[in-house]
Amino acid sequence: MLSEVMDLLVCPHCTSDLEAIGDGRVVRCERGHTFDVARQGYVSLLAGNAGKIVGDSAEMIDARSEFLESGHFDRIIAAVAAAMSAHDPATVLEVGAGTGHYLAAVLETFERMRGVGIDVSKPAARKVARAHPRLGSVVADVWQPLPVRTGSIDAVSCVFSPRNAAELRRILAPNGVLVVVTPTEHHQQELIETLGLLRVDEDKARRLGESLAGRFEQLDATRIEFTMALDHVSIASLVGMGPSARHSTDASRRTAIAALPDTAEVTASVTVGTYRALASAAL
Ligand SMILES: C[S@@+](CC[C@H](N)C(=O)[O-])C[C@H]1O[C@@H](n2cnc3c(N)ncnc32)[C@H](O)[C@@H]1O
Ligand SMILES: [Zn+2]
């Protein structure tokens, strides 16, 4: 619920404190900027660029929900929850939170922990708002200053999502941790070949390191790799939730999936990196 995390949020226009007013359907800052709380429980704290970046569509978010609920990524979800909770955070935040599945698992590890899920997609924000009672859902663009109080977050996760290292460093508390999940070049390799999906950029790991350098030090990097036995429905969800969903028509994708064996072996391969915010970093 938003009320659980209001003290962690700030106005996107003037960075002053926010409070819920009336029956909780409006959030207002000290200088009088107001933001409507959606019926589904999330608040949009976009400043200025509203609508320019929309993020994942409702279809992509539904596909992501279906796939994550099927349990095939449970090992990755558990690894993220373990990496976050190892540092005993009281406040956690995910950028590009998607459906909120990862944050919900983190919040289950410790009953006094509270969380904020940020995503620019409204269909994602609706899911995040329902994902866990101690989770607040905020629509914001990670490429803009985050509407989050400086130094207020103990652990941030970024799972297959864009990240803005300077802002993540700013919102983290001293010694706060950042957990980043990125796909390796083997992730979904069988489907990349047969369905013509977008390839993982081979330079991804180097670019991640460069973007965090000077602000974070690496504590750990764990590779998680396993094989999933997927039927056509799961493969359709996996493809539909990913970046390739934007690059092929439904019909062409359905035809290609129908030509696969009834159960296909597909590799999941990711790196879970844990980083500590450097005290000396310029904010
Ligand atoms: C690949 S999905 C990952 C979702 C979730 N972390 C998971 O793994 O299930 C990327 C997410 O980032 C969001 N996103 C993309 N661009 C964004 C931006 N500029 N600001 C905030 N969120 C963004 C998308 O809407 C989408 O939900
Ligand atoms: Zn304001």
Relative to the CA of 161, which ligand 1 atom is closest? 10
pLDDT at site 243:
80
Q: Is residue 18 in a domain?
A: no
pLDDT at site 127:
98
Q: What is the pLDDT of residues 257-276, one digit of tens each?
A: 999 999 999 999 999 999 99
Q: How far is the CA of 156 from the centre of ligand 1 (A)?
A: 14
User: Which pLDDT band holds residue 83 (cuts at 50, 70, 90)?
Assistant: very high
Tokens 């995910």 belong to residue: 94
Contact, 181 vs 158, CB < 8 A? yes
Q: How far is the CA of 96 from the centre of ligand 2 (A)?
A: 24
Give the list of residues 6+ apart from residue 203 with CB closer than 8 angstroms, or none.
none
- What distance in Å separates the CA atoms of residue 162 and residue 249, rounded to the nearest whole number? 24
Average pLDDT over residues 226-230: 98
Q: What is the torsional sign of CA 246, 247, 249, 252? A: negative
Q: How far is the CA of 48 from the centre of ligand 2 (A)?
A: 12
3-class state of residue 47 by DSSP = coil
Q: How far is the CA of 159 from the centre of ligand 1 (A)?
A: 8
What residues does ligand 1 touch, defined as CB less than 6 Å away? Answer: 53, 55-56, 64, 96-99, 101-102, 119-121, 124, 141-143, 159-162
**Going by CA atoms, what residue is nearest to atom 12 of ligand 1?**
96
Out of 77, 120, 164, mutate this one to test ligand 1's pocket (max ligand atoms within 8 Å of CB): namely 120
* Cα dist from 210 to 70, 75, 176, whole Å: 35, 27, 19
Residue of 44 and 199 predicted with greater confidence: 44
Nearest alpha carbon to residue 157 among 109, 201, 210, 122: 109
pLDDT at site 106:
97
Q: Is residue 84 in a domain?
A: yes
pLDDT at site 24:
86
User: Which pLDDT band holds residue 244 (cuts at 50, 70, 90)?
Assistant: confident
Nearest alpha carbon to residue 119 among 82, 79, 152, 163: 163
Q: Is residue 43 in a domain?
A: no
Whether 282 shows a pLDDT value over 60: the answer reads no
Q: How many residues does the chain have?
A: 283
Number of neighbours of residue 147 by Cβ within 10 angstroms: 27
- What distance in Å separates the CA atoms of residue 137 and residue 122, rounded to the nearest whole number? 10
**Going by CA atoms, what residue is nearest to atom 15 of ligand 1?**
55
**211 bridge partner residues:** none
Q: Is residue 53 in a domain?
A: yes
Task: For the chain, give the percent of residues with pLDDT over 70.
Answer: 96
Tally of domains in the chain = 1
Residue 120: domain span: 48-277
pLDDT at site 202:
74
Q: What is the phi/psi pair of residue 206, to 5°?
A: -65, -40
pLDDT at site 198:
80
Strand locations in the chain (E): 18-21, 26-29, 34-36, 43-44, 91-95, 114-119, 135-139, 153-159, 172-183, 216-230, 264-277
Q: Is residue 31 in a domain?
A: no
User: Which pLDDT band holds residue 148 (cuts at 50, 70, 90)?
Assistant: very high
Q: What is the average pLDDT value for the chain, to the nearest integer?
A: 93
Amino acid identity at 252: S
pLDDT at site 194:
85
Q: Is residue 33 in a domain?
A: no
Task: For the chain, give the percent of residues with pLDDT over 90.
Answer: 80
Q: What is the torsional sign of CA 10, 16, 17, 23? A: negative
Q: Is residue 125 in a domain?
A: yes
Q: What is the phi/psi pair of residue 192, to 5°?
A: -60, -45
Least confident of 19-23, 63-67, 194-198: 194-198
Residue 141's CATH number: 3.40.50.150
Q: Is residue 29 in a domain?
A: no
Give this prediction's pTM: 0.95
